[in-house]
Amino acid sequence: MTHDSGIYNGMPATGLGDVVWRKSVRSGPQGNCVEFADVETGGRVAVRNSRDPHGPALIYTRAEIHALIEGAKDGDFDHLLA
């Protein structure tokens, strides 16, 4: 899906320009984490694999990220850690 801004799900993360990527302080030194960045256009959030910083970025709405974070806080995904 392409947006008017040229930002789309699966685009190369490098195509997002000078966004600031952030990862959890719980991330290991092996780079086993995902990183998040604010995408100014449309108030969206980009997610990428820290081991592949030039690879694809998944683009989500703030509402989708909100649901993910709140679900994680509530333990909805704890079964994935077992």
Tell me the domain boundaries of the chain.
11-81
At residue 4, the pLDDT reads 55
Q: Which two tokens stand for residue 18?
A: 């000078």
Long-range contact list for 42-47, CB < 8 A, 24+ apart?
42/3, 42/5, 42/7, 44/7, 46/13, 46/16, 46/19
pLDDT at 2: 46
φ, ψ of residue 66 in degrees (nearest 5) = -60, -45
pTM of the predicted model as reported, rounded to 2 decimal places: 0.85
**Contact present, 37 and 11 (Cβ < 8 Å):** no
Q: What is the mean pLDDT of each run of 10 residues along the chain (82 residues)?
A: 74 94 84 88 90 94 96 96 88
